[in-house]
Every structure is written in structure tokens, then in C-alpha cells.
Amino acid sequence: MSAAQTKTEFVTVQGLRLEVERRGSGSPLLVLLSEEAAAELEAPFLAELAKKHELIIPQPPGFGNSERPDWVSSPDDISYMFLDLVEHYGLKNIPVLALSLGGYIAAQMAVKDDGFISKLIMVDSFGVKVGGPFDRDVQDIWTSHPTKVAAWKWADPENGKRDYSGKSDAELSIIARNLESFARFCWDPYMHDPRLKLRLHRVKVPTLFIWGEKDGVVTTAYGKAYSEMVPGAKFTTIANAGHYPQLEQPAAFLAAVNSFLG
């Protein structure tokens, strides 16, 4: 499969159909996308990674064309499905690139079984509570004013603007469905699992946390505290980037990823 080729397939896991995209050629790389999955699938950083790797990109329940039964309610549930998916493909000793929501899912996977992971990259991920009970660790992105949310998400809010006029009804439905599923999985408890930070010591693989220097959703202080919960993890920042450095600063982001993967 060449870098330009993309294959989409459906795999049945725990009784539901998950959409999986396989793109590019080379050594396998498991990519767990963020809540901005629709934009990321079209982004330059994935195209560049596909020149060196076969990207395996599963869509969580409720994202893309993956089914979402009522009993799936959290990233913890999704982590078991993705571990079954890893077994289905026979993936062993492979790196994992996990973005925002994808990082939350990856952390839940790694504390259960990191035996298939060679290296783990967590990008502006959430999933843990680092402050006290009344501290705002993760900004309220759902009920705050859109202008404020855009300023939290992007170093330049213009980068977050989308032109949906050329999108088909099917494409718009996926974008809306992704957002709905994101809210369903992370609303309560808000953007974290209180048990996760108690289990992160189980992650034994080399881990790099990459953070947008201007992330206002989860700040660099949050990212550093998160990284310190994973034994031996490294932490680095991307200048002039917010919550999605892979979209705002793809060249600097890819340099950090490739340097870590070797």
C-alpha cells in the first residue's frame, strides 16, 4: 500500500462495527485521532506520516461510521475495544500516536496492557485530574462562549474556522456525530477518569508528551503534571500552537514525533 493509497474497512469488536482506515506504507503506526478527527483525516501531518508508516486509524464508537451502542459510555469502555482491535490485527511492538481524546483512550489502554506498544506519544491529552476538587483543570469547552473556546483551542483562532459550505450532508452528519459522541464520553466526570492517575504508574514504555505552548484547554502546567504521572515520560512543547499542534504547526509537530520515533 503506497502513501497515497487508503483502505477503509470495518472490524467487528465486542459485537459492534468499528471503522478502520489504513493509509500509507512502511512500519505500522497506530494513530488515535482527537475529537477533531474529521479535520485531521484531511490534514498534512497524516499525509506526511503515511510516507514512512502504514497508519492504522480506528474510529471510536460514534465517530466516523463506527457504531455506537448505548452501553458504550466512556473512554474506558473504548480502550477495551481498541485492545481487542490490536489483537485482531496482530499488532506487536508498534508506536502509538494519540491526540487529545485519543490520548485519553491510549492512556486507558496502556494502563491495562502496554505490551504491544514500543513508544507512546500523547498530544495535548486529557483524562486525569491534577488539581484539587475546585480547580478547573480542563476548560469548559461546551457551555462557554464560542469566541472564548476558540481562543483556548487555537494560538490563532483563525486556524479553527471551518468552511462547511462545500461539505455533503453525509460529511456534515459525521462532524456533528463526532461532537455528540465526544460530549457523551467526556461529560461526566468532566474530561477525566478519577481512577486513571492512580494507574499510570503501570505504563512502562517510553512516552513523550507533546503540548501546544498556547493550549488554553489544558495548559502546559497540566501537561507537565500529567507527564510526571508516567514513569520516565518526557515533555516538550510546540511554539505558536494551541490544543491542536498537529494542525497549527505540522512541521514542528512532525519534527518532534520523528525525533522520538527515530
Backbone angles phi, psi at 185, to 5 degrees: -80, -25
Backbone angles phi, psi at 58, to 5 degrees: -85, 145
CB burial class (10 A; 0-12, 13-18, 19+) of residue 201?
Answer: exposed
Which residues are bridge partners to 11 per DSSP? 18
Q: Which of 146-150, 163-167, 191-195, 201-205 has the lowest mean pLDDT?
A: 163-167
What is the distance between the alpha carbons of residues 172 and 193, in angstroms, rounded to a whole number? 30
User: Do the Cβ atoms of 24 and 53 come closer than 8 Å?
Assistant: yes
Backbone angles phi, psi at 131, to 5 degrees: -100, -170
The mean pLDDT of 26-53, rounded to a whole number, is 97
**What does the pLDDT read at residue 149?**
97
Q: For residue 192, is pLDDT > 60?
A: yes
pLDDT tens per residue across span 132-180: 988 999 999 999 999 999 999 999 999 999 888 889 999 999 999 999 9
The mean pLDDT of 171-196, rounded to a whole number, is 96
Q: How far is CA 46 from CA 30, 139, 154, 225, 250, in A?
A: 12, 27, 19, 28, 9
Q: Band the pLDDT of 4: cuts 50, 70, 90.
A: low
**What does the pLDDT read at residue 5?**
84
Which H or E run contains 41? none
Strand, coil or helix: 42: coil
Q: Band the pLDDT of 2: cuts 50, 70, 90.
A: very low
User: Do the Cβ atoms of 103 and 30 come closer than 8 Å?
Assistant: no
Sign of CA dihedral 194, 62, 55, 117: positive
Q: Which residue has the cell 483563525?
A: 158
Q: For residue 3, is pLDDT > 60?
A: no
The grid coordinates listed for 255 are 519534527
**What does the pLDDT read at residue 143?**
95
Q: For residue 16, is pLDDT > 90?
A: yes
Strand, coil or helix: 207: strand
Mean pLDDT score of the chain: 96
What is the distance between the alpha carbons of residues 218 and 220, in angstroms, rounded to a whole number? 7
Q: How far is CA 63 from CA 4, 18, 34, 36, 71, in A?
A: 23, 9, 10, 10, 15
Q: For residue 220, is pLDDT > 70?
A: yes
The mean pLDDT of 205-225, rounded to a whole number, is 98
The CATH superfamily label for domain 6-261 reads: Alpha/Beta hydrolase fold, catalytic domain (3.40.50.1820)
Q: For residue 217, is pLDDT > 90?
A: yes
The number of residues in the chain equals 262
Q: For residue 119, is pLDDT > 80?
A: yes
The mean pLDDT of 213-221, rounded to a whole number, is 98
For the chain, what are the domain ranges? Answer: 6-261
Q: Which of 3-12, 35-44, 69-78, 243-252 has the lowest mean pLDDT?
A: 3-12
Cα angle for residues 257, 180, 127 (degrees, 5° grid): 45
What is the distance between the alpha carbons of residues 159 and 51, in angstroms, rounded to a whole number? 25
Give, rounded to a whole angstrom, the gap between the first and last alpha carbons of the chain: 22
**What does the pLDDT read at residue 162?**
87
**What does the pLDDT read at residue 237?**
98
The mean pLDDT of 57-64, rounded to a whole number, is 98
